[in-house]
Every structure is written in C-alpha cells, then in structure tokens.
Amino acid sequence: MSTVATIVQPSEIRIARRETRRQLLRSKTFMAGVIIIAFWVFCAIFGYRIAPHDPLSQAFPQLQGLSRAYPFGTDQLGRDVFSRVLAGARDILIVAPLATLLGVVGGTTIGLVTGYFRGLTDDVISRIVDAVLSLPLIVIAVTVLVALGHSTLTVIVVIGLVFAPIVSRTVRAAVLAERQLDYVSASRLQGERAPYVMFVEILPNVFGPIVVEATVRLGYAIFAVAGLTFLGFGVQPPSPDWALQIADNYTLLGAGTYWWTVLFPALAIISLVVAVNLVADGLARVFGR
Amino acid sequence: MLVFAASQLLPGDIGRNVLGPFASPNDVKALDHQLGVDRPIYVQYGAWIGKLAHGNLGMSLEYKVPVASLLGPSLVNSLKLAAVAFVLVVPLSIVGGVFAALRRGHWLDRLITLTGLSLTAVPEFISAIVLILIFGLLLNWLPVTAASPADADAVTQIRYLILPGLALVMVLFGYIARMARAGTIEALESDYTRTAFLKGLDTATVIRRHVLRNSLLPTIAVIATQMGYLIGGLVVIEKLFNYNGIGQRIYTAALNKDFTMLQSGVLVVGIVYLTATLLADILYSLLNPRIRYAGVE
C-alpha cells in the first residue's frame, strides 16, 4: 500500500503545485504586489549604487523643491530625498522579514506542540499567549526596548516574540483539524515519535495557512518596525530609512510646506505595505482560506 | 459569565507580573534609598502592589510629583481623542461593511474591501502625515496639531482632534468593516432572512430588523479587541500631533527612564483594555439572547 501511495502522490502533488502557481500568476493584484516588492528588494540591494547622489551626503542646498537635479527635493540637512528613498528600502527589508521569520518559526513550533498534545501543555501555553496579546505591541516593544536598550537585534527579537503567539493560534487551529485525519493515527501506530509526527507528517500539510500567515505578519512587521523607528526605538540614524526620514522632517510641516521631505518616504512605505497585502490576499485566495 | 470575566482578568495579572522586573531601574545604581529602589525586585513589587491597592501609584522619578497627578489629565485627554476616533469609525465602518455586503461581488465591494485592507496595513503615522498634507496644508481645513488653545470650547477642541482621530480611523476601518461585511453576508444567506423575504417584507425592513441585528454581533467583539490596538496607536499619534495624552506620557517616560511613570502608564493601559473588553462582553450578552439566557441558567 505504501508503494502505491509513493507512486501516486508525487505526480498529484506536482499537478496541484502547478495549478497553484498558475492561479497566482493569473491574479493581477498578486502580480502587482510581487512586482512592487521585487522593485524595493532591488533597491534594498543596489539602492546605494543606483542613487544619483550619496544618500548620506549633506553637501546639497537645504530644503530645495523639486528640480531636475533633485527630483524629490532636498531635506533640512541638505540631503537628496530621491536618493534616500531609493536607499531607504534596505533597513526595513532586513529587519521586518527577520522579525517575521523568527515569529513564524517560533509560532509554528508552539502551534504544533499545543495543537498536537492539547491538555495541560495547551492550557498553559494558551494562557501565556493571552497575556502577551492583552497589551498593544507598541507598548510592549517600547517597554522592553527601554529595559534592554535598543538595537536592531532587540527590535527583531521583540517583534518576533510578540508575533510567535499570534502565529501559534493559526497553526494550532490548522493542526487541530489535521490531527483527526487517518494519516496521523497511522503514523502514530507505526510507532513514530511525537516530534517526527509533528514536523515531518503534519507540518507539510499545514504549510498553506502558515505561508498566508507569514505574509500577513510581514505586513504587520513593517507596520511595527516603521512605527518604532518613527518613535526613535527602531532603525537608528544616519540610515536613510523611510520612517526615519519622516521622523526627521515632520516637524517642518507646521512651519512651512516642505511637503516633499515627508511625502515621498511616506509613499514608499505605503507602496510596500500595500504590495505585501496584495500578495497576502492572493495567497489566501489560492490556499482557500 | 462570572467565570468568563475572571478568565478575562487573568491575563492582566500575568501582564503585571511580566512588568514587575522593570520596576528595578538597573542602570540607576546610584541608589535612591529614599525611593527604596535598592531593595530586591520582589520586595519592591510587593510594596508597589500594596500601594496600588490603596490607589497610590508612587512618585514620578523624573518630575518628583505623584504619578497619578500627571497620568490623570493625560488619560482624560487620550479618552477624548479615542472617543472622537470611535464616534467616527464605528458608524463609518459599519455602513461601509454592510454596504459592501449588499453589493457583494460588485466593484464597489472590491473597492471598499481592498481600500480598507490597505489602509489597515499602512502605519498610522503615515496615514496621519498624508492627512496633514491634504487637509491641513493643501486644503487648510483643519489644524495640524492636536493640542487646542487652553481656553478652547468643546467644539474647537473636537476640531483639533479630528485629524489625529481620522488617522486612527483609517487603521481601524478595515478591521471593523471586514467583520461587518462578513457578518452581513452570513446573515443574508441564512434561513431566517429567506423566511423574512418570503413573508413578503420589503428589503429595508428585512435588513433593519433581521439582518443587522445578527450581523453586528461579531462586529462588536472585533471593536473591543481593537481597543488594544487603539491604545498602541495613541502612542504614535499623540507624539506626531504633540498631544498630551497617555501615549505621549508612556513615550516620554520610556525616553527618560522614568520607571514608576512607565509602569503605571502601562498598568493604566492594561486596565483600560480589560474594562473595554468587559464592557463589550456585557454589551454582547445584552444584545444576544442566546448568551444571556445561557448565563442565567
């Protein structure tokens, strides 16, 4: 029986995968999201090189409006906003995905364990999850960052740790549905150990919801990192990070209309988060959630 | 229902435990014996809880005045801002969600859903910046700070709070509208709605009396859970608009390492959140006969 299963399954899986891929490629909103993200990833890698001016240089006239030399104007320290928008993709695209990764890996492990064992383990972990979720992320993050001192690594760890319980809920729900199925009992009767059943048998089957959850979390991670950076607890100067540019220049809004110093980095963040959400939306549709 | 309330309060207690360690300003080693911060953490924590039971939040390390005298007015300010945001967001998003549900599949539905989703994902300070640029500077309709002049009357105060309130609305709209839409669609597809139509009632009556009553229940639950976000959003928004609220207090306390203030601020946030959740539970059970009767038995 097992030989039959191994012959039939791979081709079925391949067909299913090809179908998934085709559906994704056909979705206009999904592809738009992918293209925007790809553009910003490109900027994150090559931004410093393709920028017309040095993003960190303060050698230019201050607060110049839009012109051919400075397409997005210059800020109050005489830096070229266009170059900074291009180069500013880097930090957020390092910090947010790493925080997401940490949260998803942690959350998946917790979700598998709580969903698989249930009982006391489940109760205890679920209570801790509730406790973490009862305070707003920004408040937790600010408190922890003050206590531990703020560095990029702390930001990643804090956001990852707060996301883990949230992700674990989704994974737990998916695992609870899976563990009823025959293949899980079959594997257990075969004498497989719990970690093997969880990670080798169940995990591949709950992969869809995890991928969807990961993209949704990435959106929130960008949200959180940008917010913390704006408050001064995230990415630190002199990075040309978008949120940092806004934090540097928003006080000018009251005094005069130097709108270009904040509008362009704001648009950059908006395009990134909307793109991530379009991708998440497309994935959720295809994985049927 | 009592058991439910207790289990709702439980996380608050754990949260306070988690915050206990921060009671010790480990970098303020220049010991302030008077403040008692050189005692072991658990002693301090015990003392803090003891004082708390008497309603004493302690002295601010930064300003040398009782924390409560600073937090009180800030909390009132924040509640004003939150109230403005709430008054704007609840009707807007419910109408939006129900409207989308009634036009399900129509391009307007897609537009409302996608706009809501995107707005939700955009960080609040970004939405706020865009709002300031449009309404504050381009159109010059609304003031760009939140703090109104000291002697301002209620209407002026509200005028100053509309922009920051709107920024919070933009984040919350998506969640609440999505829930209202899902609830309405479910109610529209149910048997009792079909029965109501078959009875010969006109569409407006069916929607008002049969659909809305059922579809808005889950929405109330979502609104309550968003309270947590709302408070977090206040930290950012109050800083951006330079508004003296609880978020700004927590932020400056964090910057100045004013631990008593930070601790009390976070505690107040926790309490406000739990109160909101409790209120929503009560409201939910009042509106939903099934839960109400189950609770009595």
Query: Could you give the CA distance from residue B229 to residue A53 in angstroms, rounded to a whole number?
Result: 39
Number of H helices, E strands in chain B: 12, 0
Alpha helices in A27-54 (DSSP H): 28-50
Contact of B96 with B173, CB cutoff 8 Å: yes
Of the pLDDT bands very low, low, confident and very high (cuts 50, 70, 90), residue B46 is low
Cβ atoms within 10 Å of B30's Cβ, excluding its own:
8
Given B125, B136, B269, which is nearest A227 (Cβ)? B125
Residue B66, classed as helix, strand or coil, is: strand
B122: its two tokens: 């955009």
- Which 29-88 residues of chain B touch chain A by CB within 8 A? none
Residue B19 has pLDDT above 50, yes or no: no
DSSP A61: P
Classify domain A2-287 at the CATH topology level: MetI-like fold (1.10.3720)
In terms of phi and psi (left: phi > 0; alpha: psi -120 to 50; beta: otherwise), the region of B286 is alpha
pLDDT tens per residue across all 289 residues of chain A:
444 444 555 667 777 777 777 877 777 888 888 999 999 998 888 877 777 777 777 777 777 777 777 777 777 777 888 888 888 888 889 999 999 999 999 999 988 888 888 778 778 777 777 666 666 777 778 777 777 777 888 889 888 988 888 888 888 888 888 888 888 888 888 888 888 888 888 888 888 889 888 998 998 899 888 888 888 888 887 788 888 888 887 777 765 667 777 888 888 888 998 899 888 888 887 876 4
Query: Could you give the CA distance from residue A29 to residue A209 in angstroms, rounded to a whole number?
Result: 20
Residue B105 has pLDDT above 80, yes or no: no
Cβ separation of A130 and B10 shorter than 8 Å? yes
Report yes or no: B99 at the A interface, CB cutoff 8 Å.
no
Given B123, B145, B255, which is nearest A269 (Cβ)? B123
> Which residues from B are below 8 Å from A271, CB to CB?
none
Which of the two residues, A107 and B114, has the higher pLDDT score?
A107
User: What local confidence, expressed as pLDDT, does residue B47 receive?
Assistant: 54
Name the residue with tokens 């839409």.
B181
Query: Could you give the CA distance from residue B222 to residue B242 in angstroms, rounded to a whole number?
Result: 29
Work out the average pLDDT over B250-261.
77
User: What local confidence, expressed as pLDDT, does residue A97 receive?
Assistant: 92
B234: its two tokens: 């206040």
Alpha helices in B64-153 (DSSP H): 67-102, 107-121, 124-131
User: What local confidence, expressed as pLDDT, does residue B224 receive?
Assistant: 74
Which of the two residues, B55 and A56, has the higher pLDDT score?
A56
Contact of A164 with A110, CB cutoff 8 Å: yes
Q: Is residue B2 exposed (0-12), middle (13-18) or buried (19+ Cβ within 10 Å)?
A: exposed
Contacts of B36 (CB under 8 A, 6+ apart): B43, B44, B47
Provide the residue ranges of all domains of chain A, joining segments of one domain with +.
2-287
Q: How far is CA B203 from the centre of its chain?
A: 34
Q: Give the angle subtended at the CA of A145 by the CAs of A142 and A147, to the nearest 5°.
A: 110
Contact of B244 with B73, CB cutoff 8 Å: yes
User: What local confidence, expressed as pLDDT, does residue B8 receive?
Assistant: 35
Given B137, B235, B236, which is nearest A253 (Cβ)? B137
In terms of phi and psi (left: phi > 0; alpha: psi -120 to 50; beta: otherwise), the region of A218 is alpha
Count, residues in chain A: 289
Residue B293 has pLDDT above 60, yes or no: no
Cβ atoms within 10 Å of B148's Cβ, excluding its own:
18
Name the residue with tokens 């206590």.
A147
User: What local confidence, expressed as pLDDT, does residue B51 receive?
Assistant: 57
Query: Could you give the CA distance from residue A96 to residue A269 in angstroms, rounded to a whole number?
Result: 12
A27: its two tokens: 């979705």
Work out the average pLDDT over B174-182.
84
**Cis before A238? omega within 30:** yes
Cβ separation of A130 and B11 shorter than 8 Å? yes
User: How many angstroms separate the CA of residue B163 from the nearest CA in chain A?
Assistant: 14
Looking at every residue in chain B, the average pLDDT score rounds to: 71
Cβ separation of A134 and B250 shorter than 8 Å? no
Report yes or no: B14 at the A interface, CB cutoff 8 Å.
yes
B174: its two tokens: 């998506």
Query: Could you give the CA distance from residue B192 to residue B197 in angstroms, rounded to a whole number?
Result: 9
User: What local confidence, expressed as pLDDT, does residue B38 receive?
Assistant: 39
Query: Could you give the CA distance from residue B173 to residue A34 in angstroms, rounded to a whole number?
Result: 25
Of the pLDDT bands very low, low, confident and very high (cuts 50, 70, 90), residue B59 is low
Residue B127 has pLDDT above 90, yes or no: no
Cβ separation of A146 and B257 shorter than 8 Å? yes
Cβ atoms within 10 Å of B255's Cβ, excluding its own:
15
